[in-house]
Amino acid sequence: MSSSSPPAVPTRRIPLLDPPAAIGECAGCLRRTILALCLLLAGSARAAEEVRIGMILPLTGAAASTGLELRNAAELAAEIVNTPSGDFALPLAAGKGLPHLGGAKIRLIFADHQGNPQLGASEAERLITQEKVVALLGCYFSAVTATASQVAERHGIPFLTGESSSSTLTRRGFQWFFRTTPHDELFVQNFFAFLKDVEKKKGIKIKTLALLNENTLFGSETTKLEEKLAEENGYKVAEKILYPARSAQLTSEVQRIKAAAADVVMQSSYLGDAVLSIKTYKELGYAPSALLANDAGFNDSEFLKTVGKDAEYVLSREVWALDLAERKPLIRKVNDLMEKRHGVSFNGNSARDFTAVLVLAEAIDRAGSTAPEAIRKALRETNLPADQLIMPWEGIRFDATGQNDKGAGIIVQVQGGKYATVWPFPLASREIVWPMPDWSKR
């Protein structure tokens, strides 16, 4: 006390020399104190009724339509948390707001990154420092999620991505980064789990695989992984072809694949080459037991329209499908809400972001606090069972890298001109057709 008082003496003397200023200064002190008190009160009052969460999405630009879809899904999730929504098995659906935070509501604050990683980072900065959000969600594009989550990491704010699937994101050793969706590698691992399941179910042995992948990063990374996993799982890669996606013909590629006579063809293609390959398979009368496609071109909404009935029996991976509702009634109920509120059904992306909002809200509620450290701790301890999710996952539990290790994709098959879920078998809406019938028998 005594040591701190001497410096105070001169400052007290100055007001004596200049009384008007002294009055002004004291008044200023008082004003500031009152203001600070008010802010403090306001701050704590707000904490009781509103938890601010930032979400960065491509709301304009080339992916704007997807961004808006994701925003709609996230808003629906927030509404389910904030208002009593009936007898859903979803987390936080029953009550009003977050019960452990005195019924506080969550408020989503959206920002637009326009598909630009730099803008994503600066919006993350703005949301954290100016909007005072307690956690971040986003960003759809893995490249933007990478930069935005870097900002969150620096500020020590939890970042949860619901749909960015580049496997590198969870390999950066980040402490504040979480991901609910399976990443790209897990999807490829799913293919092999699927093949094993088919062998068991059908009592057959699959021996050889042929890999037909386009030669940019997507296809070549997939090829490496497929080769590695094939070896681990005891399958022989009879043929491996990387081809340029912009090809005028794929005749030699398909001839090679046909000559290899592999049981299963695994293919990663964009739209144009996916279409061309199907036409060439038909031309050369080549039908393996199964054509297992890796999303992308095969799941493009134009693919089925373009190829028509020649696409029948093609298998592909998916993250979600509406026909899962046949085995999981919760999906139907939630989808009805989505239809009512936004006039569209869920798709793989919007279902995943809907889930991410609920997972984050549930963790914040469990934390009972909006302190970032408490939220991170709660996220680490997250353990949601499958029956509280609209996803085909076994649950949500984050491993040390922040990756949900209970996620999985599904395998769909074109049947009757539509993609139907055929795997995992307990979630299947249709029986899988295996092997694929010969072209002459269609």
Closest separation between CB of residue 188 and another protein, Å?
21
Residue 304 CB, shortest distance to another protein, in Å, is 11
Q: Looking at beta carbons only, is 132 or 224 nearer to another protein?
A: 224
Contacts of 434 (CB under 8 A, 6+ apart): 198, 202, 289, 290
Residue type, 77: A
Q: CA-to-CA distance for 111 and 59, rounded, in angstroms?
A: 8
Residues interacting with another protein, by CB under 8 A? 215, 241-244, 246-249, 251-253, 255-256, 258-259, 271-272, 275-276, 279, 282-285, 300, 302, 306-308, 439
Q: Judged by CB, which is closer to another protein: 276, or 379?
A: 276
The amino acid occupying position 421 is: T
Long-range contacts from 154-161, C-beta under 8 angstroms, 24+ separation: 155/128, 155/129, 156/372, 156/373, 157/128, 157/133, 157/372, 158/134, 158/360, 158/372, 158/375, 158/376, 158/379, 159/135, 160/135, 160/136, 160/356, 160/359, 160/360, 160/379, 161/137, 161/356
Nearer to another protein by C-beta: 233 or 247? 247
- Which C-beta is closer to another protein: that of 201 or that of 305? 305
Report, in Å, the least distance between residue 71 CB and another protein.
25
Question: How far is residue 28 from each of residues 22, 38, 43, 125, measured CA to CA in Å?
Answer: 10, 15, 22, 32
**Nearer residue to another protein within complex by CB, 109 or 242:** 242
CA-CA distance, 298 to 314, in Å (whole number)? 9
Report in angstroms how near the CB of residue 417 gets to another protein at its nearest. 12
Output 243 or 346, the one with its CB closest to another protein: 243
Q: How far is CA 370 from the centre of its chain?
A: 23
> Shortest distance, CB of residue 90 to another protein, whole angstroms?
37
Q: Report, in Å, the least distance between residue 136 CB and another protein.
A: 33
